[in-house]
Structure 1
Amino acid sequence: MSDYNIAPQILIPFGRLDAGKDLSALGSNSGLGDIILANTFFVYHDKDTKSTFGITPYLYLPTGQYSKNDSLNIGENRVKFTLQGAYTTQLAERLNWDVAGDFTLYGKNDDITGGGSLKQDLGFQFQTNARYRLTDMADLRAGLSYSDAGDTKQNGITTDSTKQTKFWVGTGISPTPTTQVILNYGRDLKVENGFKEDNRINLRLMKVF
């Protein structure tokens, strides 16, 4: 009998993008994002310290809203694969700490403004998050991340990668043992070679079957 536990997931993002200030001419867009297939393999678990380590592959399918004629898109019109390793442990009776790192391989986008194909180098991200349990059903959380998306290439021209540092605060609520709602607010602290987000709100519903 295997000692490994797994947690298959299907994620269907929905988002809205609004450009403001000097970028207002880009307009706005909303719709479904690219469907994400994921499966976490829990390869380590220590009951004494309540620590776990999991490895999660993510496969992004090009199903989201996308048009090369739009300046802002929810979908990316390409396949992506991300492999993440994450460690979580209990620091105190009600306080947990998470740390994770991942890398992403990108497929090509062959339908872009200006013609040709968009290619992208390997990207990576590191993030850390703390969760304080208020009750058995609810927690408060805050986190910080840094990402380097990888250089992009189009028609022989290379563009330096987008580097992003951001934070978030929020809450996780579990109304039933198999249901969780996560609500986070965040914003970018620093961005190089990309758009800076002033405000972001993420709402995630997870149902375990």
Structure 2
Amino acid sequence: MSRINNLLLLAAFGPTLAWAIDLQPNDIVAPPPDKNYLTLSYINTENSTQYRNGSARPGSPVIDTQSANLRGTRTFTMGSLPAVSYLQLPYGTVKPGGSLANMPSDTEIGDLSFVTAIWPYANKNTRTYLGIAGYLIAPTGNYSSQKTFNFSENRFRTDLQIGFQAPITSNVDGMIAVDTMWFGGNSQCAAACALPTNGSLTQKPLTTTQLGPIYRINPIFTVGASYFYVAGGETAINNRYQNNVVNTQRFLLSGQAHTPIGRLSLQYGRDMEIKNGFVQTRLLAVRLAKEF
């Protein structure tokens, strides 16, 4: 595999499943203070055909990723503003197949995420919310420079997200969120950069816009649909840019149920259009959040 092809693995297929910060229905709604939640989730993605500047390349690659995530959440007030923080640790497997089957898979504990969000404006009576969230993802997982695929990324990532939600009708809200992710450098990029020894991998910021309706069927069931546009994220090896800008459109369907054992969430999505990288043919996420 050429250097450019290898970098497409990094530019458009992240071991954390999606570099966009996917929101669930009502994630932009400010939570009540002084609550604790534990969330267990399972996420599975499949990526296949590789694209280079909008054209499909030969071969039949398959990249399957499975992840189990444990998240602990605490809500509070920051001054007079609603706020929430959580820690999340994933454990998962990246398994290449098809024309990539000769490459080794990787099963590891992943990178730790720390998130804090505040709501400068939150009006429960009018169902109108404006939230801002900051994300820090630290390279706490194991990483091998001799593997093209690693579940951990061996670099810090930060993200700033702003989201707005307001009613459209009595039972339907509209949401829009924009986030930009910044990437630290990986000075131990060898196999994934098609280098015989370690080199330097850097990446430009990646911006994601997501928007869509949220329909509250009744007090138990809620559904939502989101459209995503992801742009930026060109990578460089040893300061040489690779002409692999991410330009992706995707969708995500969501459903939630408030059950006696907690809030159960199900999400399904896939790419609709992609310029560079391996097209995502499936994203499936199941989550259970329990107050304690």
TM class, shorter-chain normalised?
0.7 to 0.9
Q: Give me the whole-angstrom Cα distance separating, in 2, the residues matched to 1:171 and 1:15.
A: 24
**Partner in structure 1 of residue 255 of structure 2:** 171
TM-score (structure 1 length as normaliser) = 0.87
Q: Give me the whole-angstrom Cα distance separating, in 2, the residues matched to 1:165 and 1:13.
A: 26
Q: Aligned-pair distance for 1:12?
A: 2.5
Match of 1:164, SS state, is strand
Q: Give me the whole-angstrom Cα distance separating, in 2, the residues matched to 1:66 and 1:37.
A: 20
> Does 2:129 match 1:46?
no
Q: Aligned-pair distance for 1:25?
A: 4.2
Higher relative contact order (CA 8 A, sep 6+): 2
Instruction: Give 1:36's match in structure 2, choosing from 113, 135, 145.
Output: 113
Match of 1:49, SS state, is coil
**Partner in structure 2 of residue 100 of structure 1:** 177
Change (3 A) 1:165 1:32: farther
The one-letter code matched in structure 2 to 1:42 is: W
Match of 1:153, SS state, is strand
Instruction: Give 2:267's match in structure 1, choosing from 184, 189, 195.
Output: 184
Q: Aligned-pair distance for 1:145?
A: 0.6
Instruction: Give 1:151's match in structure 2, choosing from 221, 227, 234.
Output: 234
The alignment of Structure 1 onto Structure 2 pairs a total of residues equal to 208
Change (3 A) 1:45 1:38: same
Change (3 A) 1:55 1:26: same
> Does 2:163 match 1:86?
yes
User: Can you list the C-alpha shifts for 1:107-149, whole angstroms capped at 9, x where unaligned?
Assistant: 1112211222111112211011322223323212211111124
**What is the percentage of aligned positions where both structures have the same residue?**
26
Q: Aligned-pair distance for 1:18?
A: 4.3
Q: Aligned-pair distance for 1:68?
A: 2.4
TM-score (structure 2 length as normaliser) = 0.64
Give structure 1 stretches of 5+ with no counterpart.
none
Match of 2:180, SS state, is strand
**Alignment root-mean-square deviation, CA:** 2.4
The one-letter code matched in structure 1 to 2:117 is: T
Q: Which stretch of the first structure deviates more once superposed, 7-16 or 49-58? A: 7-16
Q: Aligned-pair distance for 1:26?
A: 4.3
Q: Aligned-pair distance for 1:47?
A: 3.6
> Does 2:84 match 1:7?
yes
The one-letter code matched in structure 2 to 1:74 is: F
Match of 2:236, SS state, is strand
User: Can you list the C-alpha shifts for 1:79-105, whole angstroms capped at 9, x where unaligned?
Assistant: 111000001112222222211001111
Match of 1:63, SS state, is coil
Instruction: Give 2:278's match in structure 1, choosing from 179, 195, 203.
Output: 195
Residues 110, 140 of structure 2: 8 Å contact kept: yes
> Does 2:200 match 1:121?
no
Q: Give me the whole-angstrom Cα distance separating, in 1, the residues matched to 2:269 and 2:104.
A: 21
Q: Give me the whole-angstrom Cα distance separating, in 2, the residues matched to 1:46 and 1:8.
A: 20
